[in-house]
Amino acid sequence: MQFTKMHGLGNDFIIVAGMKQVHENVNQLAVRMCDRNFGIGADGLVYILPSAAADFQMRIFNSDGSEPEQCGNAIRCVGKYVYDHRLTDQTTIRVETKAGIQTLELTVTDKRVQSVRVDMGVPILQGLQIPTAIDQDVVLQVPISADGFQSTFTAVSMGNPHCVIMMDRLADLPFDQVGPALEVHPYFPKKTNVEFVEVHAPKEVTMRVWERGAGETLACGTGACAVCVAGVLAGRTERRVLVHLKGGDLEIEWSQTDNHVYMTGPAVEVFQGQWLLSCLNTGKMA
């Protein structure tokens, strides 16, 4: 099977295109392909499939094999892939995801996509719809504790759930302990992505992310969108923010006009290869 390795700010994906549907054993396949020692290594496996409702369909599987509803960095990679590989000549494309149809605006130089602006849709704020276990119209600055860590969080869904925690200093955070503990916190029945945020100024923040089903990643597009929304709700940021992540920067805007969140950032193709599908043995000792 042919694959292409891509990333958005170091959030890396194995892209598979040209199939009609995902492989039957896709959850195990994602685990094996994403393994950084025994496979190709990636945060997720992404399929670009035909769509009856849009130009293309994206399905993504986390490195633990679970299927999330949405992925901001992967959808930018999909935009670059379909244009650079001549599957379309359009610079505005619509991509169907489990969270709905997203519109992508591609910025092209020398016939290659340099950056992608994605309409990530309207954020979901109602507690049960996110989903959280909290039946409130907005889950804003609610106290939370896990593994000895105490803080407050704001919950936002960008199709997938996010727990946004504002901190005075990111450097003080026992990240590797708290991230996994919050991912499975009982407030989040479908688990959650966790963003820890330091606000430098109303237009500039730094975040670190612990992703549901993938652990720490260098960037999370939906996470950056959730951070912008939570920042506005908490009165800490403006509607346009520059988000610094470990792998680089994203520009996020929560539009007052249509209530949609817009994300702008790069996508990069790294290499292409062939996965030996027939190789069932992982090579690991029993």
Residue 71 designated active-site: yes
Of the two residues 11 and 57, which places its CB atom closer to ligand LBFN2T5F in the complex? 11
Residue whose entry in the numeric block shows the structure tokens 């670009």: 48
Q: Mask 140-169, x = binds ligand LBFN2T5F (CB under 6 A)? A: --------------------x---------
Q: Which residues of 253-281 are buried (b: 16+ CB within 10 A; e: fewer)?
A: bbeeeeebbbbbbbbbbeeeeebeeeeee
Of the two residues 93 and 130, which places its CB atom closer to ligand LBFN2T5F in the complex? 130
Burial of 71 from C-beta contacts in 10 A (0-12 / 13-18 / 19+) = buried
**Is residue 98 a contact partner of residue 70, using CB atoms and an 8 Å limit?**
yes
Choose one: 15-23, 167-175, 177-185, 209-217; the region binding ligand LBFN2T5F (CB under 6 A): 209-217
Q: How far is the CB of 40 from ligand LBFN2T5F (least distance, A)?
A: 17
Do the annotations mark residue 72 as ligand-binding?
yes
Among 79, 121, 213, 247, binds ligand LBFN2T5F (CB under 6 A): 213
Among 121, 212, 230, 243, binds ligand LBFN2T5F (CB under 6 A): 212
Among 34, 46, 61, 72, binds ligand LBFN2T5F (CB under 6 A): 72
Examine residue 39 and tell whether it contacts ligand LBFN2T5F (CB under 6 A).
no
Examine residue 214 and tell whether it contacts ligand LBFN2T5F (CB under 6 A).
yes
Name 54's Cβ contacts closer than 8 Å, sequence gap at least 6: 94, 95, 96, 101
Tokens read off for 218: 């260098």
